[in-house]
Amino acid sequence: MSRNPQEWDDRYAAAAAECGGTVWTPGPNRALAAAVEQELADVVPGTCVDVAAGEGRHAVWLAARGWRVQAVDYSRVGLDRAREAAAGAGVDVQTVCADVTEWDPAEPVDLVVCAFLHLPSVTTRPLLHRLGTWVAPSGWLVLLGHDAANLLHGTGGPQDADVLWDTDLLREAAAGAGLEVLRADQVRREVTNAERAAIDVLLVARRN
């Protein structure tokens, strides 16, 4: 199921109104954070775009590590939360309210991050390729999403094969944009009160 901006706005607003909380667990996804800390350990932080940034958990974490982050999302309420989170963390995150299927950064970017953006495959394939083309020379692409294996073996995420990702999809997008793929693997994520772990897919690629 794909949502529209109003539905995302309502979802973020409801989480804030009901419990003063966020839809997504605060703090970065562990696998994404570990990948950035390991693979990019020697990289001097530069410009970064967090694509479909939502409430900004990755944008804020990256900004705290010195990246100059643009957080792009079409949910104004999500971006309000992202700015609050950035202010709370004492970091700067520039927010851009835009449909990422139509938006492009002004210049090539040192790090492009996109986590859990699940759109119909007809949109996803060209979009992921475009994200790869944004990467500057010596820059990086980090993608994280729900793997299609979730439907049979995992927990949570959209229950629609057409919007789910897998390693082949991510590899093709990155390689098609001229990037070297350093890793593209399934990652297990433990989920509270669920018998099975969630199965995510993570890609790290760079432009040589």
Ligand X SMILES: C[S@@+](CC[C@H](N)C(=O)[O-])C[C@H]1O[C@@H](n2cnc3c(N)ncnc32)[C@H](O)[C@@H]1O
- Shortest Å, Cβ 8 to ligand X: 4
Which CA distances in Å does 179 have to 7, 34, 86, 170?
34, 21, 30, 11
Q: Name the DSSP letter for residue 101.
A: T
Question: What gap in Å lies between CA 206 and CA 130, rounded to an integer?
Answer: 14
SS3 for 141?
Answer: strand
* Ramachandran area for residue 178 (φ above 0: left; ψ -120 to 50: alpha; else beta): left
In the bound state, the residue with its beta carbon closest to ligand X is 54
The residue range among 35-43, 109-117, 151-159, 169-177 that interacts with ligand X, by the rule CB under 6 A, is 109-117
Q: Which residues face 115 on adjacent strands?
A: 144
Give the nearest distance from C-beta 78 to ligand X in angstroms.
4
> What is the rounded distance in angstroms from the CA atom of residue 197 to the CA atom of residue 126?
29
Residue in 61, 67, 116, 140 binding ligand X, rule: CB under 6 A: 116
Beta pairing class for 68-73 and 135-146: unpaired
CB of 90 to ligand X, least distance (A): 20
The count of other CB atoms within 10 Å of the CB of residue 161 is 11
Among 100, 148, 170, 184, binds ligand X (CB under 6 A): 100
* Residue of the chain from 62, 69, 82, 117 that contacts ligand X (CB under 6 A): 117
Of 115-123, 147-155, 168-176, 181-189, which segment contacts ligand X by CB under 6 A?
Answer: 115-123
Q: Which of residues 40-79 bind ligand X (CB under 6 A)?
A: 52-54, 57, 73-75, 78
Number of residues binding to ligand X, judged by CB under 6 A = 17
Nearer to ligand X, 30 or 178 (CB): 30
The number of beta carbons lying within 10 Å of the beta carbon of residue 207 is: 20
Q: Which of 165, 166, 178 is nearest to 205 (CA)?
A: 178
Contact code string over 13-42 relative to ligand X, x by CB under 6 A: -----------x------------------
Residue 115 backbone phi and psi in degrees, to 5: -125, 125
**Minimum distance of ligand X from residue 81's CB (angstroms):** 10
Q: Which is nearer to ligand X, 74 or 140 (CB)?
A: 74
Q: What residue ranges bind ligand X (CB under 6 A)?
A: 8, 24, 52-54, 57, 73-75, 78, 99-101, 115-117, 119
